[in-house]
Amino acid sequence: MRRGRNNSGIMGWIGVVLVLSALGFMGFSPLFERDEPKVTVSQDGYWNFNDPIHVSVEDASGLKSFKATIATPHDEWVVADENTPSAEAKKVFEILPPKGVHRVEATSVVLKIEATDKSLWGFFMGNTYQQEMTLVIDQRRPVLSIIANSYKIQKGGSAIVIFKADDPHMQSLKIETNFGKTFIAQPFMKQGYYASLVAWPVQEASFSATIIARDRAGNETKSAIPLRLKDHVYRVSNIELSDAFLDGKIAQLANEYEQTAGVDDRLEQFRIINEKVRADNEKIIHDITSKVSKNMIVDFAPEPFYPLVNGQKVADFGDHRIYSYKGQENISQAYHMGLDLASVAMGPITSSNGGNVVFSQPNGIYGNLPIIDHGFGLYTLYGHCSEVHVQKGDIAALGQQIAKTGLSGYAMGDHLHFGILVQGIEVRPEEWMDTKWIYDNITSVIESAKVIISQQ
């Protein structure tokens, strides 16, 4: 009898150990994970009852089942029902309107989602995620119409467009180009109207721009800006590098820039400065000058830009420079993205239009560089300065002396590198230095649009 009691005790302890082991296994084994599936729905409160709703379901243990229904006060449809277990950690489902139902009388529907994972938790039933969300049905596309625009745009140049865009559920409004740049329109004159400068980069063979208005339900309206394209042939300069240049200016800059640290080969130093350093410097410029105010603009009438009194052009905008050295062709290439002007050494540079100083410090090959924001996405920059008289945050007044010409950065002689940018795209300064061009292509378009808008 005593031996039987001992055996029973031992068996009892063994049972306890087995139970505890099983509980421990269930507590820590991935097979018994207790997290419900993570569900993400592409729509956020609105639906056009046309485009599919994408539902992403993620779970480490895989998916056991998925079900979705759409309900109105009077009807309910099962639009997805999958009960085939899957070991995939992530699956995406497309929710479409019920077959044969293209329009509903209700102003909203309720989307119900239920997803169960393959976990053995909950007596092998798995973890279940349930959600109900109300979606407002909006099947109307945004209203979009062009009010006025420049007649033409030249390669390397600028243009303007003014348009109406209206939708109670507007989500995004942008101007997309054929080369990947997106221009942002600024509110203009009164609610529902917008305006934007656009630019055709020198490096792009063609130009097209389309206004795209999209609401929160996914409805979209597009309108191409009807601009006549005018090509412009920019100069190609074949430049032979000299030993004096490599041993002088390039050696000097190579000692200053971190990108050339540890590089002794003179041609490699030149390539890095002409390409890598230039690209790094231009990225800073493009990031700064891509910003557009969200505040409403009621007018835009810039004066022609004449930053250097009696300044003579010494290098063209858009000049494509190809470098060679002692029979080695195409050592490096670069585009000159400004207009070089020279007068006297340390000549005074003035701001032809008022604006906010958004940058004022050395910037690699550009040397000492102030940048001014004139509003409406239009910026000017002044490179190679010997002195700078404004700081970031200052307001530059019309006619104010902001700097003096110089030799800082990648400059071989005292001059001003004058650049104009439209939302981060370098454009021909000559256009913005021409009174007639400004009137024909910018201010007259604005005047026409203001008359039309005031009558609507």
293-316 pLDDT tens trace = 999 999 999 999 999 999 999 999
With 60 as the cut, is the pLDDT of residue 17 above it?
no
Taking residues 276-292, report their average pLDDT.
98
Tell me the CA distances in angstroms from 351 to 250, 380, 427, one per residue in order.
Answer: 31, 9, 18
Nearest CA to 135 out of 159, 169, 107 is that of 107
Q: Where is 10: in which H helix or E strand?
A: helix 2-28
Q: How do strand 312-315 and strand 339-342 relate by DSSP bridges?
A: antiparallel
Say whether pLDDT at 19 is over 80. Answer: no
For residue 13, pLDDT over 60 is answered with no
Nearest residue to 256 (alpha-carbon basis) of 367, 371, 418, 403 = 367
d(CA 377, CA 250): 34
Please state, in angstroms and rounded to a whole number, the distance separating the CA atoms of residues 48 and 102. Answer: 10
Q: Is 60 exceeded by the pLDDT of residue 2?
A: no
- For 346-372, how does the pLDDT look when each residue is reduced to its tens digit (9 = 90+)? 999 999 999 999 999 999 999 999 999
Q: What is the band of 8 on the pLDDT scale with cuts at 50, 70, 90? A: low
256 — alpha (psi -120 to 50), left (phi > 0) or beta?
alpha
With contact defined as beta carbons under 8 Å apart, do 110 and 41 qualify? no
Q: Are strands 46-47 and 193-199 parallel, antiparallel or unpaired?
A: unpaired
- The percentage of residues in the chain with a pLDDT greater than 70, rounded to a whole number, is 92
| pLDDT number for residue 35 | 86
- DSSP letters spanning 377-420: TEEEEEESBSEE---TT-EEPTT-EEEE-B-TTT-SSSBEEEEE
First-residue to last-residue Cα distance in the chain:
106
Query: Looking at residues 175-186, what average pLDDT do you find?
Result: 98
- Annotation: CATH topology of 236-435: Glucose Permease (Domain IIA) (2.70.70)
Q: Which of 56-60, 144-148, 263-267 has the lowest mean pLDDT?
A: 56-60
Residue 360 or residue 4, greater confidence: 360
**CB burial of residue 15 (10 Å; 0-12, 13-18, 19+):** exposed
User: Considering Cα of 303, then 305, then 306, then 308, what sign does the dihedral take?
Assistant: positive
Question: Amino acid identity of 124?
Answer: F
Q: Is residue 11 over pLDDT 90? A: no
Of 149, 83, 72, give the one whose Cα is nearest residue 112: 72
pLDDT confidence of residue 9: 61
pLDDT of residue 195: 98
Contacts of 365 (CB under 8 A, 6+ apart): 253, 273, 277, 278, 281, 409, 410
Confidence of residue 31 (pLDDT cuts 50, 70, 90): low
CB 113 within 8 A of CB 55: yes
Chain-centre distance for alpha carbon 413: 36
Check pLDDT > 80 for residue 16.
Answer: no
Q: According to the model, what pLDDT value does residue 219 have? A: 96
- Which residues share a beta bridge with 148? 162
SS3 of 262, please? coil
Where exactly does CATH 2.70.70.10 map onto the chain?
Answer: 236-435
In this structure, the number of other CB atoms found within 10 A of the CB of residue 269 comes to: 20
What secondary structure does DSSP assign to 67-117, as a single string? Answer: EEEEE-SS-EEEEEEE---B--SEEEEEE-PPTT----SSSEEEEEEEEEE
Res. 48 pLDDT band, cuts 50 70 90: very high
CATH 2.60.40.1940 fits 30-137, yes or no: yes
What pLDDT was estimated at residue 248? 95
Please report, to the nearest 10 degrees, the dihedral formed by the alpha carbons of residues 319, 325, 329, 335 taken in order: -20
Residues 211/163, Cβ–Cβ less than 8 Å: yes
**Which of 27-36, 71-80, 227-236, 317-326 comes out lowest in average pLDDT?**
27-36
Mean pLDDT of the 91-99 span: 92
Return left, alpha or beta for 153; rule: phi > 0 is left, psi -120 to 50 is alpha, else beta.
beta
What's the pLDDT tens digit per position in 98-135?
887 878 888 999 999 999 998 887 666 789 999 999 99
Query: Is residue 1 over pLDDT 50?
Result: no
The reported pLDDT for the residue numbered 396 is 97
Where in the chain are all domains bearing CATH 2.60.40.1940? 30-137
pLDDT, residue 30, reads: 56
Contact criterion met (CB below 8 Å) for 164 and 192: yes
Q: What CATH topology corresponds to 143-231?
A: Immunoglobulin-like (2.60.40)
β-pair type (319-325, 236-240):
parallel
* pLDDT at 27 (0 to 100): 46
Q: What average pLDDT does the structure give for the chain? A: 92
What is the C-alpha to C-alpha distance for residues 389 and 107, in angstroms, rounded to an integer? 61
**How many residues does this entry show for the chain?**
456
The amino acid at residue 313 is K
In the chain, % of residues over pLDDT 90: 84
The DSSP H or E segment spanning 173 is strand 170-177
The answer to whether residues 436 and 444 touch, using CB atoms and an 8 Å cutoff, is no
